[in-house]
Amino acid sequence: MTILRQHLIDPEICIRCNTCEETCPIDAITHDDNNYVVNMATCDECLDCISPCPTGAIDNWRMVTTAYSEQEQFSWDELPDAIDHGELSLSDLTVHEASEQEVDEILEVAHQGQQGKVLAPSSAEHPHINLYNRNQPIVARVAGNYRITDANTDSDVHHVVLDFGNRTFPVLEGQSIGILPPGEDEKGNPHLVRLYSVASPRDGERPGVNNLSLTVKRVVYQEDGETVRGIGSNYVCDLVKDEKVNVTGPFGSTFLMPNHTEANIIMICTGTGSAPFRAMTEYRRRHMPNAEGRLTLYFGARTPGELPYFGPLNKLNDKFIDKQLVFSRLPDAPKEYVQDRMLAQDEKLSKLIGLGETYVYICGLKDMEQGVEEAFEKICNDNGLDWDNIKMTMKKTGRYHVETY
Ligand code: FAD
């Protein structure tokens, strides 16, 4: 069975401005009185049409066994349901561009903690995904690489800024990008893509500049008496200014922030799990500083020196964000983890969690998931709330998000 990736235009969003048809270098896009459509046989996925589209209608893709014809697309009022045309579920995919299947699988694992498919917040901005893949990566220039944890700690975390020059690479807070480490594995295959969360807001690490930042922890560990260095993280942490990097993505269409000012956002993280929360917080700080919705951050590390962005975080006004920085290895204090602090603040959290405008995001190492979930359960039980019910409602309304790795 051959599986095809078909490029489609969403008729519900398309404003029929003709930009895509004008942009397409090989005339793969055409229109009638009803719709703009892509001719599957002609389209070579150069992606030139994606970024000029003012609405994002152009950025729709389906895995199909039989391509939708132009005539069918002309008749649509909306994109067809996922089950039409032999569209496949991820688990059915056997033939597909390896890089995207690989990313989908990685993301599925990363989102397991939310137990099933979750929607994006209804007010989230439309994300662009899969604009660049392994065969056609975008080349970024390293604009800076700074260690952001204390030099005398084992936790070597870097803030890396990538610049995309005059090429378009639109990202939203909560999305990830793929980095293609150069070289091959022991079997002679190119290294697999490594995903890293975007740590800057959609309008750039520096406002209005076509760049983004990442927060990357160098992975080094001992195995059978040998020191093993993670391929992707060491590549990124060792990048030097002006070096060129092959980037894929963006990826992720659900772990996105709500865009409305009433939304309360509870962010729970450890280590580099803070990256998407730096992006979300900075977006709010730049564009909605007086939002009525509250920002609450539970951020765990072993010591202040190992907590990425400790200095800048501390400068944020307490009225703007309720920061709970939690440490598990302070010399003269008992170990404290994010779930301990959550439990200690059960009254505040139970009030927040019961509100229809509260969004929960959990990001970081897999280990933290269970403790956080148990803390929510206990907080709800102790305060007369039904956690299972609340969580189910939150998931159905795009308000509960887990991304762990
Ligand atoms: P690899 O060469 O892939 O080696 C990793 C291997 O080592 C794995 O088999 C792992 O199980 C094992 N391993 C790792 N640590 C240890 C240890 N201490 N002891 C024993 N075995 C170990 N990372 C970030 O730093 N920042 C981010 O913002 C970020 N965002 C992510 C977002 C998503 C959606 C996902 C899925 C992952 C994200 N990651 C992030 C993780 C990142 O993609 C890589 O997995 C990580 O950098 C390790 O890759 P590597 O190539 O260095 O290690």
Query: Whole-angstrom Cα distance, residue 346 to residue 384?
Result: 12
| CA 5 to ligand 1 center in whole angstroms | 29
Residues 30 and 9 sit within 8 Å (Cβ to Cβ)? no
- Which of 14, 20, 49, 363 does the annotation list as catalytic? 363
Q: Report which protein residue has its CA nearest ligand 1's atom 1.
A: 230
Domain range list for the chain? 4-110, 138-251, 264-404
CATH fold, domain 264-404, is: Rossmann fold (3.40.50)
Known catalytic residue at 221 = no
Classified as helix, coil or strand, 277 is: helix
194 Cα nearest atom in ligand 1: 43
Sign for the CA dihedral angle at 39, 43, 49, 50 comes to positive
- Within 142-253, residue ranges assigned H as helices are 231-237
Ligand 1 pocket test target in 196, 218, 277 with most atoms within 8 Å of CB? 196
Token pair for 351: 């009030």
Known catalytic residue at 233 = no
Residues in CB range of 212: below 8 A, 6 or more apart: 161, 162, 164, 169, 171, 177, 198, 199, 200, 204, 205
Residue 85's region, left for phi above 0, alpha for psi from -120 to 50, else beta, is left
> Nearest to residue 97, comparing CAs of 40, 20, 45, 164?
45
Known catalytic residue at 68 = no
The per-residue pLDDT for 86 is 46
Query: Whole-angstrom Cα distance, residue 290 to residue 287?
Result: 9
Residues 310 and 317 sit within 8 Å (Cβ to Cβ)? no
The per-residue pLDDT for 294 is 96
| CA 169 to ligand 1 center in whole angstroms | 24
Q: Summarize pLDDT for 57-85 with one digit per residue, the tens.
A: 788 888 788 889 999 999 998 888 654 45
Would you say the CATH fold of 138-251 matches that of 4-110? no
| CA 352 to ligand 1 center in whole angstroms | 33
Ligand 1 pocket test target in 105, 177, 194 with most atoms within 8 Å of CB? 194
The per-residue pLDDT for 17 is 76
**Assigned architecture for domain 4-110:** 2-Layer Sandwich (3.30)
For residue 363, the 8-state DSSP code is: E
Identity of residue 42: T
Backbone angles phi, psi at 253, to 5 degrees: -125, 10
How do strand 220-223 and strand 36-38 relate by DSSP bridges? unpaired
272 Cα nearest atom in ligand 1: 26
Strand residues in 136-278 grouped as ranges (E)? 138-147, 157-163, 176-179, 194-197, 211-217, 220-223, 226-229, 244-251, 264-270
Q: DSSP string covering 292-345, please?
A: SSPEEEEEEESSGGGSTTHHHHHHS-TTTEEEEEEES--TTS----HHHHHHHT
The per-residue pLDDT for 54 is 67
Token pair for 3: 């599986």
Classified as helix, coil or strand, 226 is: strand
Q: In the structure, which protein residues have their CB atom closer than 6 angstroms to any atom of ligand 1?
A: 106-107, 110, 176, 194-197, 215-217, 219, 221, 230-234, 272, 275, 403, 405
Query: Whole-angstrom Cα distance, residue 24 to residue 48?
Result: 7
| CA 384 to ligand 1 center in whole angstroms | 39
Residues 260 and 276 sit within 8 Å (Cβ to Cβ)? no
The per-residue pLDDT for 275 is 97
The per-residue pLDDT for 93 is 32
> Nearest to residue 194, comparing CAs of 149, 146, 150, 237?
237
Residues 354 and 382 sit within 8 Å (Cβ to Cβ)? no
Known catalytic residue at 306 = no
| CA 359 to ligand 1 center in whole angstroms | 26
Token pair for 99: 């890089």
> Nearest to residue 293, comparing CAs of 313, 263, 323, 316?
263
Ligand 1 pocket test target in 233, 251, 254, 309 with most atoms within 8 Å of CB? 233
Q: Report which protein residue has its CA nearest ligand 1's atom 26.
A: 216
Q: Report which protein residue has its CA nearest ligand 1's atom 5.
A: 230
| CA 219 to ligand 1 center in whole angstroms | 7
Known catalytic residue at 403 = yes
Low-confidence ranges of the chain (pLDDT < 50): 83-84, 86-97
CATH fold, domain 138-251, is: Elongation Factor Tu (Ef-tu); domain 3 (2.40.30)
The per-residue pLDDT for 1 is 60
Token pair for 373: 């979930």
Residues 391 and 376 sit within 8 Å (Cβ to Cβ)? yes
Query: Whole-angstrom Cα distance, residue 198 to residue 278?
Result: 9
Residues in CB range of 182: below 8 A, 6 or more apart: 191, 235, 246
